[in-house]
């Protein structure tokens, strides 16, 4: 596993732990504060906003709530002042009084730099911490490429979980209808077709470069009219890029609206892709179990022994295991650099894993 993947995996493990902890807390009043700072946003602007909120909080009538909120905001300000700039993927910060006893103070703060870029800016004060944007990132298992285009406009983006990350957008200036006739009409038509070919070539160059660098699992192309099909049928896309196209969808728009519509219309394809990934790794495990039993392990005792021997290449964890047990396995896998794949129980293979104790491993070498 390369270092970038290890780092991202580690961030997800840490995020899972923090979400588990924060999800347990509930305040008597709206005094638990959640702040999300998106990637690229000026952190000083957030500091100014929180300082303003602290000033407003001093007007809260209930003395207990007022003290809890102002103290939490002060802790949050102290924490964020440690950053000279917003981290690469943004940052989420939480603070509040988590004491279970009325009138007692136990104000704590947490922060996390998420594994994927945040694209939302949120300030929320509620009875619970607002965790949904981070929970969505926990669902990210692969990155997909998105392209929406017509002859006038094109946008290229990455889909990470439910988050659309724009990468490139441009206008072509290819003319639409024209009103000349005779020989001029034919000449104009040839000019327009030449401009369209140049446009396809430009879009293709961006798609080839971006989706090779990002190592996307699959590509979805969409747009109004035939342009999307012409892009795929022509020579603008490299052969290996064409092979990665998993769907071509008709959508009514280009730009940001078109990207959103493309994702909505591709939910069926994406859900099959995610289930397919789990199925492939489980089928590999089951094949090895039938043919080379010394290259796999299953059940708590054997998997723990393989982890202790640093022999695990891929750890398969059933999502219906107790949370504390999952965290324990994740920590041990992290120590040895093993990849961890969460297996749902919605597939036949996932149910087989659950029936085998919910934990299994594909090994690096026989033991």
pLDDT tens digits along 290-340: 999 999 999 999 999 999 999 999 999 998 888 778 888 988 888 888 988
CB-CB contact of 24 with 117 (8 Å)? no
pLDDT reported for residue 16: 78
What's the sign of the alpha-carbon dihedral 68, 69, 74, 77?
A: positive
Predicted TM-score (pTM) of the model is: 0.58
DSSP reduced 3-state for 288: helix
Q: Quote the CA–CA distance of 225 and 223 in Å, as a whole number.
A: 6
Q: Quote the CA–CA distance of 323 and 304 in Å, as a whole number.
A: 17
Q: In this structure, what are the phi and psi dihedrals at residue 105, rounded to the nearest 5 degrees?
A: -110, 125
Domain boundaries, the chain: 19-138, 143-265, 277-363
pLDDT reported for residue 23: 93
pLDDT tens digits for 169-193?
999 877 665 554 555 666 767 877 8
In angstroms, how far is the first alpha carbon of the chain from the final one?
Answer: 21
- HSE at residue 95, side-chain half, CA atoms within 13 A, is 22
The CATH architecture to which 19-138 belongs is 2-Layer Sandwich (3.30)
Fold match flag (19-138 vs 143-265): no
Fold of 143-265: Nucleotidyltransferase; domain 5 (3.30.420)
Mean pLDDT throughout 232-256?
Answer: 95
pLDDT tens digits for 50-82?
999 999 999 999 999 999 999 999 999 999 999
Mean pLDDT throughout 226-253?
Answer: 95
pLDDT of 10 strictly over 70:
no
pLDDT reported for residue 99: 93
pLDDT tens digits for 108-150?
999 999 888 898 999 999 999 999 999 888 765 678 999 999 9
Given the candidates 3.10.20.30, 3.30.1330.30, 2.40.50.320, 1.25.40.80, the CATH classification of the domain at 277-363 is 3.30.1330.30
pLDDT reported for residue 5: 59
pLDDT reported for residue 98: 95
CB-CB contact of 266 with 228 (8 Å)? no
CB-CB contact of 210 with 167 (8 Å)? yes
pLDDT of 6 strictly over 70:
no
């Amino acid at each position: 596993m390369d270092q970038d993947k290890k780092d991202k995996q580690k961030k997800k493990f840490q995020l899972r732990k923090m979400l588990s902890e924060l999800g347990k807390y509930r305040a008597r009043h709206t005094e638990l504060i959640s702040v999300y700072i998106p990637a690229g946003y000026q952190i000083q602007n957030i500091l100014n906003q929180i300082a303003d909120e602290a000033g407003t909080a001093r007007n809260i009538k209930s003395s207990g709530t007022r003290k809890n909120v102002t103290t939490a905001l002060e802790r949050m300000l102290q924490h964020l002042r440690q950053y000279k700039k917003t981290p690469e993927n943004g940052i989420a910060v939480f603070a509040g009084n988590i004491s279970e006893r009325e009138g007692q103070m136990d104000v704590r703060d947490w922060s996390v730099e998420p594994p994927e870029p945040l694209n939302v800016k949120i300030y929320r004060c509620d009875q619970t911490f607002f965790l949904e944007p981070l929970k969505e990132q926990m669902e990210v298992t692969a990155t997909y490429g998105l392209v929406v285009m017509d002859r006038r406009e094109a946008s290229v983006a990455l889909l990470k979980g439910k988050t659309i990350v724009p990468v490139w957008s441009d206008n072509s200036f290819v003319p639409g209808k024209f009103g000349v006739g005779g020989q001029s009409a034919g000449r104009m038509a040839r000019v327009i077709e030449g401009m369209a070919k140049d446009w396809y070539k430009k879009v293709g160059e961006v798609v080839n470069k971006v989706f090779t660098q990002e190592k996307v699992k699959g590509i979805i192309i969409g747009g109004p009219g035939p342009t999307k099909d012409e892009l795929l049928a022509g020579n603008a896309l490299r052969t290996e890029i064409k092979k990665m196209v998993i769907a071509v969808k008709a959508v009514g728009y280009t730009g940001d609206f078109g990207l959103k519509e493309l994702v909505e219309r591709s939910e069926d394809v994406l859900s099959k892709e995610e289930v397919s990934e789990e199925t492939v790794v489980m089928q590999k495990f089951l094949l090895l179990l039938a043919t080379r039993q010394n290259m796999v392990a299953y059940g708590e005792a054997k998997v723990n022994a393989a982890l202790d021997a640093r022999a695990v290449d891929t750890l398969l964890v059933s999502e219906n295991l107790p949370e504390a047990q999952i965290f324990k396995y994740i920590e041990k896998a992290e120590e040895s650099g093993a990849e961890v794949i969460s297996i749902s129980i919605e597939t036949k293979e996932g149910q087989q894993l659950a029936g085998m104790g919910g934990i299994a491993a594909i090994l690096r070498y026989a033991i």
